[in-house]
Amino acid sequence: MSDLWGRVDALLSGAERPSRYIDREWGAVHRPDAAYRVALMYPDTYEVGMANQALQVLADRLATLADVACERVFVPWVDMAAALREAGVPLFTLESCLPVSECDLLGITLPHELAYTNILGALDLAGIPLRAADRGEADPLVIGGGPAAHNPEPIAPFFDAILIGDGEEAVLELVAAHRSARRAGVGREEIVRSLARVEGVYVPSLYGAGPGGRLVASAGAPERVKRRVVRDLNEFESPACPVVPYADVVHDRATVEVLRGCSRGCRFCQAGMVYRPVRERSSDSIVRDAVAALTCTGHEEISLTSLSTADHSQLADVLRRLARRLEGTGIAVSVPSLRVDSFTLSLARLLGGGRKSGLTFAPEAGSQRLRDAINKNITEDELLATVRAAFGAGWRRLKLYFMLGLPTETDEDVAEIGHLVARVLAAAKEVTPPRERGGIRIAVSVSTFVPKAHTPFQWEGQLPLSGVRHRQAVLREAMPGKGVELSWHDAETSFLEAALARGGREMADVIERAWRSGAGFDAWTEHFSLTRWRAAFEAAGIDAETAAEAPFAEDAVLPWSHIDSGLAPAFLLAERRRAYGAETTADCTFGDCTGCGVCPSLSADLVLAGERRG
């Protein structure tokens, strides 16, 4: 084991924010004598990666194995990466300051497409061959997992294995499979083959091109890889003692995941499709784990996270109990991802007990017709009523998310966003005392629709960039001039996201070429260059526009056809048809089964802590 600290230390006085690299935070676990080492990497900076709950959960699970060390790895910022390269210091883990290449397993989160070049940069800095095919016996197993794994093809050649779905159980099984294959004395090829026997694990090297563009599994690998699902979250305690960062990280707070999955059924939303079924944690375990995490970390805020926290059937009970426990401590409870239709005045009052942070809602579309088409089941009256309730209860800041380029969208739908925002502003003013109206802040954030795998819109192409710019102009024209801050998610990065998200294995060449020509930190606007990416597409012989914008035929073999998310293809197609007819579909947690297919296909079921009231 080589400790690189002395060489890293020598570079820190010149580094931006050196606390990113020093370890020694409260809660960091050091196991110098471990027999097996896992490096868990988030492919972005410390500040972004430390906010990732999945890494905390996986580290917590790995910590149950007494002779296994789990060490964190983040991507050094541009200045430090250059300093490390110049000094010949490889990418290191935080806890032992050990070269990542000396670990047994390197687990990498796949958060979104814009992180792909960072993965290559990190592998290269670690001295690990970029492509699985070029790795030898001494190299760590490189295993991915996370949201972007649901279309693994664009990055498949860089990974020895990719986990599709929940990791709580699979991470331990992967380590066990690796260790047992090693004990059996078999070589890398056999080791990787053994990973394919773990439920939910996709081993790209075992799949080759077959007739009609379909990927065909070789012997011993499943024809389609079924997404891994944890049946009941209550079986896993939320991490009680996660690492407490010194640096000011994104979402710097303790967290408890209160539920997983969301079946509201927004047709553009990949998370709402691929994390089904809804599994709520019981209020007892939420309160217990929240208090445990606050006690152990000393954080000043606890966040109750999920895709849609206000949908939790026992949320009011949880908030009341937490408020009692935290009285007089100055500790705040926050609830991200509120839905307009589940935000109520009583919820507003319960949250108002602590600090009033801003509220965020995502109507996504301006007109009722388009909201129906995307199955965002909220009406304008509900939105306005919610705004009145919130501003009446003292909130002064509101953020609204919208999307441009949704299937079936017209210029009129986009102009409606502006009109809707004007009515929201008027409603907010109406219930705010005149002398406080100056404090009203309404921020409108607009992104571009990116069609994603395993959604009813997976066959759609993206609206071309010129069309996006036109719609942006339409929206700018229709927005109220005063009292609203309008911001855009960069349309060019969304274009790249679409091209990568809809791609197959051929996309790996594009990604590697882009990285070799200097791409990295693509999610950071100041580092993103579409020109560089276009050159990479061209050099790889792939038309970027076609990749992002050409729709798939409904009977086409999609690049992710071999990944079984549990959703019945007939359900996705039916949902697409209903979208075109502006017909909505209800949420199964409030009523009848909608036939998405996940429960029977993955032998899972809804887990509700109580009755949900719509």
Partner 1 sequence: MAEGFRLRVCHRKTGRLRYLSHLELVRACERAARRAHLPYAVSQGFTPRMRIAFGPALPVGTAGEREYFDLLLTRYIPADEVCASLTAVTAYDLAPLSCSYVSGREPSLAAALTIACYDLDVKGGIPPEDLRHALDALLRAGTLSTEHKGKTKVFDLAAALPKEPEVRSSEDHTTVRLTVRMGEQGSLRPDVLVRTALGHDVPATVTRTDLLIDDKGVWRRPL
Cβ proximity to partner 1: between 68 and 348 the closer is 348
Q: Is 67 in the site for partner 1 (CB under 8 A)?
A: no
CA–CA distance, 497 with 449 (Å, rounded to integer): 10
What's the min distance (Å) between Cβ of 436 and partner 1? 13
CA–CA distance, 375 with 363 (Å, rounded to integer): 11
H or E segment to which residue 175 belongs? helix 170-183
The answer to whether the beta carbons of residues 537 and 544 sit under 8 Å apart is yes
Q: Is 577 in the site for partner 1 (CB under 8 A)?
A: no
Q: Is 438 in the site for partner 1 (CB under 8 A)?
A: no
What's the min distance (Å) between Cβ of 19 and partner 1? 5
Strand, helix or coil for residue 397: strand
CA–CA distance, 372 with 395 (Å, rounded to integer): 28
CA–CA distance, 529 with 515 (Å, rounded to integer): 11
Phi, psi of 516 (to 5 degrees): -65, -25
What's the min distance (Å) between Cβ of 545 and partner 1? 45
Lookup: tokens for 32: 């110098």
Phi, psi of 318 (to 5 degrees): -60, -45
Q: Is 194 in the site for partner 1 (CB under 8 A)?
A: no
What's the min distance (Å) between Cβ of 429 and partner 1? 21
The amino acid at 572: L
CA–CA distance, 58 with 106 (Å, rounded to integer): 13
Cβ proximity to partner 1: between 48 and 400 the closer is 48
Cβ proximity to partner 1: between 13 and 466 the closer is 13
Lookup: tokens for 15: 């580094």
What's the min distance (Å) between Cβ of 356 and partner 1? 7
How many residues contact partner 1, by CB under 8 A?
A: 28
Lookup: tokens for 454: 């395993």
What's the min distance (Å) between Cβ of 389 and partner 1? 20
Segment 323 to 342, residues that bind partner 1, using CB under 8 A? 328-331
CA–CA distance, 265 with 575 (Å, rounded to integer): 9
What's the min distance (Å) between Cβ of 104 and partner 1? 26
Q: Is 19 in the site for partner 1 (CB under 8 A)?
A: yes
What's the min distance (Å) between Cβ of 298 and partner 1? 3
CA–CA distance, 442 with 424 (Å, rounded to integer): 9
The amino acid at 310: A
Cβ proximity to partner 1: between 247 and 440 the closer is 247
The answer to whether the beta carbons of residues 135 and 100 sit under 8 Å apart is no
Cβ proximity to partner 1: between 355 and 469 the closer is 355
Region of 27 on the Ramachandran plot (φ > 0 left; ψ -120 to 50 alpha; else beta): left
> By rule CB under 8 A, what string of x and - marks binding of each residue 235-264 to partner 1?
---------x-xxx----------------
165: DSSP letter = B
Phi, psi of 406 (to 5 degrees): -70, 150
Q: Which of 355, 469, 476, 577 binds partner 1 (CB under 8 A)?
A: 355
Rg of the chain in Å (alpha carbons):
24
Q: Look-up: residue for tokens 């699985």?
A: 132
CA–CA distance, 492 with 565 (Å, rounded to integer): 29
The answer to whether the beta carbons of residues 510 and 556 sit under 8 Å apart is no
Q: Is 433 in the site for partner 1 (CB under 8 A)?
A: no
Cβ proximity to partner 1: between 247 and 535 the closer is 247
What's the min distance (Å) between Cβ of 51 and partner 1? 15
Select from 20-28, 140-148, 312-320, 522-530 the region that touches partner 1 (CB under 8 A): 20-28
Cβ proximity to partner 1: between 229 and 241 the closer is 241
Q: Is 139 in the site for partner 1 (CB under 8 A)?
A: no
Select from 6-14, 163-171, 525-533, 594-602 the region that touches partner 1 (CB under 8 A): 6-14
Select from 31-39, 41-49, 162-170, 289-297 the region that touches partner 1 (CB under 8 A): 289-297
What's the min distance (Å) between Cβ of 10 and partner 1? 8
Q: Which of 1, 2, 3, 26 binds partner 1 (CB under 8 A)?
A: 26
What's the min distance (Å) between Cβ of 83 and partner 1? 14
Segment 521 to 550, residues that bind partner 1, using CB under 8 A? none
Give the count of alpha carbons within 13 A of 334, CB side only: 21
Phi, psi of 595 (to 5 degrees): 75, 30
Select from 161-169, 174-182, 257-265, 293-301 the region that touches partner 1 (CB under 8 A): 293-301
- Name the residues that contact partner 1, by CB under 8 A: 9, 12-13, 17-19, 22-26, 244, 246-248, 294-300, 328-331, 355-356
